[in-house]
């Protein structure tokens, strides 16, 4: 807030000085830059010196807007490893992953890579953005169950990675 107020005050002072210079030096042009704001006063040009038409005496003030910020993108690889030793489990589970500060989350980049033990049915469901910087990896963990003798065939696990796409304005 303080920087913005100083920039506005500085810009106003620059405009006043340029207008005074314009009038004192009879139409001279000039440019002043305060922070990111550039102010210029165009010189008065008398194209028709013989003409009896009065030349406009007011300066033309042009204020240029500051340049827009550039979007810088970066990818963040995040690994996940979900396990449940219950053989007959079949339940959703999620974990939160974030991009590093000062980046903001755009979404996922590329495909999600994952591996499930014995192909019991554990699977990646989706990625949902939950805030400006974070999102949840949602999966289902499913065990292979038991055989006829009530022996565990295999427990559930899902291991893999996601690549988060982030951006920052610089």
Q: Compute CA 118 distance to the chain's CA centroid, rounded to the nearest angstrom.
A: 40
Burial pattern 120-129, b for ≥16 Cβ within 10 A else e, equals bebebeebee
Domain chopping of the chain, boundaries: 2-64, 71-169
Q: Is the pLDDT of residue 18 over 60?
A: no
- pLDDT tens digits, one per residue of 98-155: 999 999 999 999 888 888 766 788 999 999 999 999 999 999 999 999 999 999 998 8
Q: What is the mean pLDDT of residues 17-35?
A: 59
Residue 7 has pLDDT above 90, yes or no: no
**Among the four given CATH numbers 1.20.120, 3.40.50, 1.10.3470, 2.60.40, the one describing domain 71-169:** 2.60.40
Residue 13 above 70 pLDDT? Answer: no
pLDDT value at residue 81: 92
> Are 99 and 108 within 8 A, CB to CB?
no
What's the distance, CA 134 to chain centroid?
13
So what's the pLDDT on residue 33?
Answer: 65
Tens digits of residue pLDDT in 32-87: 666 656 656 566 555 444 555 555 566 677 776 667 789 999 999 999 999 998 99
pTM of the model: 0.57
Taking residue 75's Cβ as centre, other Cβ atoms within 10 Å add up to 14
- What band does 24 get if pLDDT is binned at 50, 70 and 90? low
Q: What is the model's pLDDT at position 47? A: 47
């Amino acid at each position: 807030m303080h920087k913005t107020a100083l920039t506005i005050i500085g810009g106003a002072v620059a405009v006043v000085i340029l207008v005074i210079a314009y009038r004192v030096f009879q139409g001279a042009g000039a440019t002043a830059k305060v922070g990111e704001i550039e102010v210029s006063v165009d010189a008065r040009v008398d194209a028709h010196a013989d003409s009896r038409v009065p030349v406009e005496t007011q300066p033309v003030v042009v204020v240029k807007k500051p340049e827009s910020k550039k979007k810088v993108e970066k990818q963040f690889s995040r690994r996940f490893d979900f396990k449940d030793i219950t053989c007959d489990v079949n339940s959703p589970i999620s974990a939160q992953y974030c991009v590093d500060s000062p980046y903001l989350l755009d979404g996922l980049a590329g495909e999600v890579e994952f591996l499930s033990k014995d192909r019991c049915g554990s699977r990646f469901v989706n990625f949902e953005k939950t805030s400006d910087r974070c999102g949840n990896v949602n999966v289902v963990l499913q065990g292979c169950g038991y055989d006829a003798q009530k022996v565990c065939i295999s427990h559930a696990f899902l291991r893999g990675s996601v690549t988060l796409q982030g951006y920052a304005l610089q």
